[in-house]
Structure 1
Amino acid sequence: MPIVLVIDDNPAVATALEVLFSLHDLQTLHADSPEAGLALLEREPVDLVIQDMNFRADTTSGDEGVALFEAIHARHPDLPVVLLTAWTHLESAVGLIKAGAADYVAKPWDDHKLLTTVGNLLELSASRRELARRRERELRERHALERHDLCGTIWADPASERVLSLAVQVARSDLPVLITGPNGAGKEKIAEIVHANSAVRAGPFVALNCGALPADLIEAELFGADAGAYTGANRAREGKFEAADGGTLFLDEIGNLPLGGQVKLLRVLETGRFERLGSNRERQVRVRVVSATNADLPALIAEGRFREDLYYRLNAIELKLPPLAERPDDILPLARHFLPAGKRLQPGAERALLRHRWPGNVRELRNAVQRAALLSPGEAIEAQALGLPAAASVPVPAPAAEPDRAQIEAALAGAGGVLAQAAAELGLSRQALYRRMDRLGLRREG
């Protein structure tokens, strides 16, 4: 239940507000002097303060209220303070609004408007606290993430951070990991991070692109071959599993592995044993397998092109890496990282980068930036140097019309001063409406 502190030397005012707030699930605390109010704020958690402007019977200047607000604001800058003032002190109240007071209410107050003001301020304050907590949590999580070996990864987007956090978490396990995502999105970098934070990080990291080899050579690459095992095999050769013994084997484009190779891979995953092509001698290895694909493996299973039992064996843990278009906050940091020393992007070039869909993902971004840097004679890179086709750009929506003073006043009048309703009618959040009202010097009555 939100807590409202009323600082007023008039017991009748405190009682009236306590009764009013209790009917609307608000708890009220009362202090009859500035000193008592400040002391209570140090002891109790308070969500909002309503304070009078005068406390001694022989004083009507409002100076006590000003001093009280300044003391509260200095000690609790994020605490909303509503000033309870007579009409004769409106000028002082307006001055305090500019100094950071949340609002003022003239005596005698209108119960409905006061409740609306208090409700709006409590909601806004709760939103700000939640935002601050979320930012603090995100900062804490980011610092925790940066304590791991991220292999020089550049990122800024929350979607990337979620993948990285999960990658360093699953790295501690020895279970197989399947990384899914489009070509060029950075799946091998995620595999490197898994290895760098695993129990076998001191061992080798060996990568094999199953889509870059003819089908009849993939098994030899994986498991090795004795001399004479196939045409051209003039001497025995070590396979990737032997090379990766004690470390990590990264199998990219695993969906391209032939069915025969899939059977042998399943056996290695289950037993750690295999034979080279052309050999009857069984070999034993200890390898952490990380695989990746841009293919729809369940669809390949339905077509009989991929073994279902292997899929579930590889997919003990899945890391889904989104395409670059779904990680827009990564685009500019990556682009700047790819720039050679002494080169910089002009604002127009940065806008062009943000508009592009990046079907080729990070690989396409790197190539575009490095090509533009090469073709730009000076240090500044303009948009046209990027060579991005207009057809591949995301259309930029026209900005929504900014409501003017008359529209805001009309919406407030039509909503009876209820800010939530007025904001909805204007197509704004309540916080956005607050900012516009402050900028235009409009009173927040609700």
Structure 2
Amino acid sequence: MDTILIVDDNHAICQALALMLEINGYRVLTCHTPEDALELVSAQEIELVIQDMNFSRDTTSGEEGRQLFYDLRERQADLPIILMTAWTQLETAVELVKAGAADYMGKPWDDAKLLNTIANLISLHKLSRTNHKLERVNQQRQMAIADADLCGIVFGSGAMQRCIDLALQLARSDVSVLITGPNGAGKDKLADIIHANSPLKNKPFIKVNVGALPVELLEAELFGAEAGAFTGATKARIGRFEAADGGTLFLDEIGNLPLSGQVKLLRVLQTGEFERLGSHKTIKVKVRVISATNADLAQDIAEGRFREDLFYRLNVIELALAPLNQRTDDILPLVKHFVGNGFSLTKPAQQALLQHRWPGNVRELENACKRAVLLAQSPLLTEADFGLVRVKSAPDMPVFQPESVVLPASAMLAKSGMNGADENHAESMDVSREEIEAALKLHNGVIARVAKALGLSRQALYRRMDKFGLEK
């Protein structure tokens, strides 16, 4: 309920105004001297003041009201103040309205006009106060970001800004954080930001891609192993938890951890204790765990592939990262970062980049930018340079889809189902003479760099160069 303060030495005036305002849903405070008014404004949250201009008997100069107005403004600069008097002092009225008085009314007043004025002024006051709060929050956030280590992250969207704000807030605590989002969206970058701005920033920061490790080696990687614990273990090795003791451990693709590893991980999170494989000696560590996944862990729990108790241990707070196509304001800043200052984009190229769905997210965008730089015929990049071509659609609604692009050998093998004997053919099947020549020029003939840029092994690149008659 909005509170209105009435300041008038006439008790009858105070009672009449209070009754009218209370009937219309306002909370009303009344007082009869400027001193009491200033005390109430300092002690309570008041939305509006209605004040008289004269408080001493037989005084009509308005000087007392003028002083009270300035004293109130000094205490609360944006407080709406309506001035009321039975005596009209035009010069004083003009001065105070210029100084910020909301309105100047004579006695007797018009009830309807006064109520309408009050409603409008209170609405504006609330809006102004909200805006001031938002400005303060934004200023505080900008100061926090200015002082923070953002680990080189590039963004332009409000969605990413909110993720970073939350990451910086979480960095100050030691709680476990689960970062969720699709592959290639930047989950590891958020983990970097959390650690870099935490009290542990000078302590170890160990990263483990759980999805990239063979199942049979996962437990040894995480918890260590004694010599002879498994075939090929010729000497004792420490695990990632030991290496991260006192610092932070980032477990990427945590959904791929087998159930046996989940049991051990749950124990470490609860007690800080574990044993190396092949050992009965208990090791105790203190490690902050940040994990990430692109999987639907709730579905995995329902289907028995992931422990519910472990999920709640990991997911004290979830940091959800949206796919790139839901934060399109990030796309062009990222492109500018990836292609560098030596290139600019045509308008159709910008449109194509913004309209493409980017199923591979930032990782796909980065690869498209590498292709554009490699194949560009000029510093002005087109949609074709990025491997995006215009296809027919509804009128005025162009749609862009990717052309065939040079894929790394591993991606081509996964896509085609090839393995082993087919690898050499797969590595070179899509690379043209023009692309190789452009890469050779760009990388000054350094074969290792050319091969990496084209997604080939050096042997495959040599075979392709031999085929096209290019000098090594």
Superposition TM-score tier, normalisation by shorter sequence: 0.5 to 0.7
- Letter in structure 2 aligned against 1:293: T
Q: What's 1:79 paired with?
A: 79
Query: Which whole-Å deviations, capped at 9, do the CAs of 1:118-137 have from their partners, x for residues lacking one?
Result: 02211321232234234424
Residue in structure 2 matching 1:168, options 167, 171, 191: 171
**Compared CA separation, residues 104 and 364, structure 1 to 2 (3 A):** farther
**1:236-385 counterparts in 2 under 5 A?**
238-269=238-269, 270=271, 272-276=273-277, 279-280=278-279, 282=281, 284=283, 286-288=285-287, 289-315=289-315, 317-324=316-323, 328=327, 331=330, 335=334, 338=337, 340-341=340-341, 360-363=360-363
Aligned residue pairs: how many?
A: 377
Q: CA deviation at 1:159?
A: 3.0
Q: Is the 8 A contact 2:38 2:71 kept in 1?
A: no
Q: How far, CA to CA, are the matches of 1:311 and 1:48 in structure 2? A: 51
Q: What's 1:20 paired with?
A: 20
Q: Is the 8 A contact 1:336 1:344 kept in 2?
A: no
**1:416-427 counterparts in 2 under 5 A?**
none
Superposed CA RMSD in Å reads: 5.8
Question: Residue 116 of structure 2: SS of its match in structure 1?
Answer: helix
**Compared CA separation, residues 134 and 233, structure 1 to 2 (3 A):** same
Q: How far, CA to CA, are the matches of 1:384 and 1:100 in structure 2? A: 60
Q: Is the 8 A contact 2:251 2:291 kept in 1?
A: yes
Q: Is the 8 A contact 1:167 1:319 kept in 2?
A: no
Point out where structure 1 has 5 or more consecutive residues left out of the alignment.
56-62, 392-446
Q: How far, CA to CA, are the matches of 2:67 and 2:346 in structure 1? A: 50
**Compared CA separation, residues 369 and 12, structure 1 to 2 (3 A):** farther
Higher relative contact order (CA 8 A, sep 6+): 1
Question: Residue 320 of structure 1: SS of its match in structure 2?
Answer: strand
Question: Residue 170 of structure 1: SS of its match in structure 2?
Answer: coil
- Letter in structure 1 aligned against 2:322: P
Question: Residue 182 of structure 2: SS of its match in structure 1?
Answer: coil
Is residue 126 of structure 1 aligned with residue 129 of structure 2? no
Q: CA deviation at 1:142?
A: 6.0
Query: Which whole-Å deviations, capped at 9, do the CAs of 1:24-76 have from their partners, x for residues lacking one?
Result: 43536578xxxx87x88755526335579999xxxxxxx99xx9999689856
- Letter in structure 1 aligned against 2:166: V
Q: Is the 8 A contact 2:272 2:285 kept in 1?
A: no
- The alignment-based identity, stated in percent, is 46
Q: What's 1:407 paired with?
A: none
Question: Residue 305 of structure 1: SS of its match in structure 2?
Answer: coil
**1:23-34 counterparts in 2 under 5 A?**
23-24=23-24, 25-27=26-28
Query: Which whole-Å deviations, capped at 9, do the CAs of 1:69-94 have from their partners, x for residues lacking one?
Result: 996898565233457799x999x999
Q: How far, CA to CA, are the matches of 1:356 and 1:98 in structure 2? A: 55
Question: Residue 211 of structure 2: SS of its match in structure 1?
Answer: coil
**Compared CA separation, residues 53 and 343, structure 1 to 2 (3 A):** farther
Q: How far, CA to CA, are the matches of 1:333 and 1:79 in structure 2? A: 44
Point out where structure 2 has 5 or more consecutive residues left out of the alignment.
56-61, 392-472
Q: How far, CA to CA, are the matches of 2:104 and 2:369 in structure 1? A: 54
Q: What's 1:178 paired with?
A: 178
Q: Is the 8 A contact 1:84 1:105 kept in 2?
A: yes
Q: How far, CA to CA, are the matches of 1:197 and 1:360 in structure 2? A: 28
Q: What's 2:423 paired with?
A: none
Question: Residue 78 of structure 1: SS of its match in structure 2?
Answer: coil
**Compared CA separation, residues 265 and 51, structure 1 to 2 (3 A):** closer
**Compared CA separation, residues 71 and 252, structure 1 to 2 (3 A):** same
Question: Residue 178 of structure 1: SS of its match in structure 2?
Answer: strand
**Compared CA separation, residues 249 and 26, structure 1 to 2 (3 A):** closer
- Letter in structure 1 aligned against 2:273: G
Q: How far, CA to CA, are the matches of 1:388 and 1:26 in structure 2? A: 64
Q: CA deviation at 1:207?
A: 1.0
Question: Residue 211 of structure 1: SS of its match in structure 2?
Answer: helix
Q: How far, CA to CA, are the matches of 1:209 and 1:72 in structure 2? A: 64
Q: What's 1:435 paired with?
A: none
Q: How far, CA to CA, are the matches of 2:96 and 2:347 in structure 1? A: 40
Q: Is the 8 A contact 1:323 1:361 kept in 2?
A: no
Q: What's 2:216 paired with?
A: 216
- Letter in structure 2 aligned against 1:274: E
Q: What's 1:159 paired with?
A: 162
Q: How far, CA to CA, are the matches of 1:97 and 1:355 in structure 2? A: 53
Q: How far, CA to CA, are the matches of 1:190 and 1:290 in structure 2? A: 10
Is residue 206 of structure 1 aligned with residue 211 of structure 2? no
With 255-264 and 317-326 compared, the bigger mean Cα shift is at: 317-326
Q: How far, CA to CA, are the matches of 2:68 and 2:373 in structure 1? A: 56
**Compared CA separation, residues 205 and 23, structure 1 to 2 (3 A):** same
Q: How far, CA to CA, are the matches of 2:107 and 2:351 in structure 1? A: 52
Q: CA deviation at 1:209?
A: 0.9
Q: Is the 8 A contact 1:83 1:103 kept in 2?
A: yes
Q: How far, CA to CA, are the matches of 1:262 and 1:281 in structure 2? A: 19
Question: Residue 113 of structure 2: SS of its match in structure 1?
Answer: helix
**Compared CA separation, residues 338 and 72, structure 1 to 2 (3 A):** farther
**1:132-147 counterparts in 2 under 5 A?**
132-137=132-137, 139-140=139-140, 143=143
**Compared CA separation, residues 364 and 28, structure 1 to 2 (3 A):** farther
TM-score (norm 1): 0.59
**Compared CA separation, residues 51 and 337, structure 1 to 2 (3 A):** farther
Q: How far, CA to CA, are the matches of 1:348 and 1:70 in structure 2? A: 60
Q: How far, CA to CA, are the matches of 1:369 and 1:12 in structure 2? A: 77
Query: Which whole-Å deviations, capped at 9, do the CAs of 1:150-180 have from their partners, x for residues lacking one?
Result: 5455676563255225422432x5xx54333
Q: How far, CA to CA, are the matches of 1:331 and 1:135 in structure 2? A: 24
Question: Residue 306 of structure 1: SS of its match in structure 2?
Answer: coil
With 127-136 and 338-347 compared, the bigger mean Cα shift is at: 338-347
Q: What's 2:398 paired with?
A: none
Greater C-alpha Rg: 2
TM-score (norm 2): 0.56
